[in-house]
Amino acid sequence: MKLKAIFLILFLALGLNSFAQSLEEISLTDAITNKPLSIASLSDQKGLVLLFYDLKCPFAKMYEDRIKNLRSSYSNKGIRFVLVNPNATSADQASLKDYVDSSGINLSFLIDSEKVLSKKLEVSKIPEVFLLTKVEGEIQSVYHGAIDNNPQAEDAVSEKFLERAINQLLRGEMPSPSQVRATGCNVRAF
């Protein structure tokens, strides 16, 4: 009887795992172009930084200039940056597009209204970042968490976690630490 129970548990675990969507298969609508973009198509460079961002979160707004500076410093080195809003719906598309146009942040802004990507990556805060790259042919997160150690005051930042992770990746190293707890607004779970 115990053996049957073990086999049943293994079968269910393997069966459920086979139905789970891989990162490569996830596709979200870009608020700027109104076209679907897949994580696979965005991962054509050395690294992909997914920045979970919501216009209603004051912590996200505090990071706006730092995000622009990171994009400016690393986009020509093979690192792509993309904003992802897990709290937006298609009704919010116009405001997201207006924000990108007026702020000069100049990034794709994906709408994750069904929270497919957010659940897959277990996003809990805004802003929270994920640095993705291909490891043995599969897209994987090699760093996730905080951008740096001071959301409120850029001048007081003493540790630039995302920047360090990107530099390590560009040197061919695995980022360490691979995770730093993010501080910010909670992602709505519904």
Residue type present at position 138:
E
**Residue 169 placed within a domain:** yes
- For the segment 141-183, what is each residue's pLDDT rounded down to a tens digit? 999 999 999 999 999 999 999 999 999 999 999 999 999 999 9
Residue 96, helix vs strand vs coil = helix
The verdict on residue 3 lying in a domain is no
Asked if the structure places residue 10 within a domain, the reply is: no
Cα Rg, the chain, nearest whole Å: 18
Q: Is 11 domain-assigned?
A: no
CATH number where 122 lies: 3.40.30.10
Q: Which domain holds residue 33?
A: 22-186
Q: Is residue 164 part of a domain?
A: yes
Q: How many CB atoms lie within 10 A of CB 77?
A: 13
Kindly state whether residue 15 falls inside one of the protein's structural domains.
no
At residue 24, does pLDDT exceed 50? yes
Write down the pLDDT at residue 115: 94
Phi (first) and psi of residue 129, to 5 degrees:
-115, 150
| Local confidence band at 188 (pLDDT 50, 70, 90 cut-offs) | confident
Structure letter (DSSP) for residue 75:
G
Residues near 71 by beta carbon (within 8 Å), at least 6 away in sequence: 81, 105, 106, 107
Residue 160 forms part of a structural domain = yes
Has residue 56 been placed in a domain?
yes
* Sequence-ordered list of residues with C-beta below 8 angstroms from that of 124, at least 6 positions apart, any chain: 182, 186, 187
Mean pLDDT over the full length of the chain: 89
Q: pTM of the predicted model, to two decimals?
A: 0.86
Query: In the chain, how many domains are there?
Result: 1
Beta bridge partners, 82, equal 50, 108
